[in-house]
Amino acid sequence: MTPDGALTATGIAKSFGALRVLDSVTISVARGEIVGMLGPNGAGKSTLVNILGGYETPDAGESALDGDPLGGLGPDRRARLGLARTFQSARLFPRLTVGENTALGALGVGASRREADEVAARVLDALGLADRADVEAAGLPHGLARLAGLARAMAAQPKYLVMDEPAAGLNEHEVPALLAALHRIRDDLGCGMLLIEHNVSLVGQVCDRVVVLSSGRVIFDGPPGDATRHPDVQAAYLGDAALGVAARRPDNIEGVRR
Ligand SMILES: Nc1ncnc2c1ncn2[C@@H]1O[C@H](COP(=O)(O)OP(=O)(O)OP(=O)(O)O)[C@@H](O)[C@H]1O
Residue 182 alpha carbon to ligand 1 centre in Å: 26
Residue nearest to atom 17 of ligand 1 (CA): 46
109 neighbors 79 (Cβ within 8 angstroms): yes
Residue 63 C-alpha to ligand 1 middle, in angstroms?
20
Please give the biggest Cα pair distance in the chain: 55
At 178, is the pLDDT very low, low, confident or very high (cuts 50, 70, 90)? confident
Which CATH number applies to 6-82+161-257?
3.40.50.300
Protein residue with least CA distance to atom 24, ligand 1: 41
Q: Exposed, middle or buried: residue 154 (CB in 10 Å: 0-12, 13-18, 19+)?
A: buried
Looking at the chain, the whole-number percentage of residues with pLDDT higher than 90 is 58
| Ligand 1 pocket, CB under 6 A | 16, 19, 21, 39, 41-47
ipTM for this model: 0.96
User: Does the pLDDT at position 117 exceed 90?
Assistant: yes
**Distance (Å) from CA 81 to ligand 1 centroid:** 27
In this predicted structure, what is the pLDDT of residue 60?
97
CA 123, CA 156: separation in Å to the nearest integer? 10
Element (H, E) at 113: helix 113-126
Kindly report the protein residue whose alpha carbon is nearest to atom 8 of ligand 1: 47
Cα Rg, the chain, nearest whole Å? 18
With bands split at pLDDT 50, 70 and 90, how would you rate the model's confidence at 4? low
Closest C-alpha to ligand 1, atom 28: 42
pLDDT recorded at residue 244:
38
Return the higher-pLDDT residue of 242 and 22. Answer: 22
pLDDT tier at 245, thresholds 50, 70, 90: very low
The preferred substitution site among 15, 45, 196 for testing ligand 1, maximizing ligand atoms within 8 Å of CB, is 45
* pLDDT at residue 225 tops 70: yes
Domain layout of the chain by residue ranges: 6-82+161-257, 93-157
Which string of DSSP letters, residue by residue, matches 158-210? -SEEEEE-TTTT--TTHHHHHHHHHHHHHHHH--EEEEE-S-HHHHHHH-SEE
* Sheet with 6-16, edge to edge strand ranges: 19-30, 6-16, 60-65, 68-69
What rounded mean pLDDT belongs to the chain? 87
If you measure from the C-alpha of residue 28 to the centroid of ligand 1, how many angstroms do you get, rounded to a whole number?
21
Check if the beta carbon of residue 198 is closer than 8 Å to that of residue 252. yes
Task: Say how many Å lie between the CA of residue 210 and the centre of ligand 1.
Answer: 20
- The arithmetic mean of pLDDT across residues 213-230, rounded, is 93
pLDDT at 149 over 60: yes
Strand order in the sheet with 160-164: 83-86, 160-164, 192-196, 34-38, 209-214, 217-222
Predicted confidence (pLDDT) at residue 239 exceeds the cutoff of 70? no
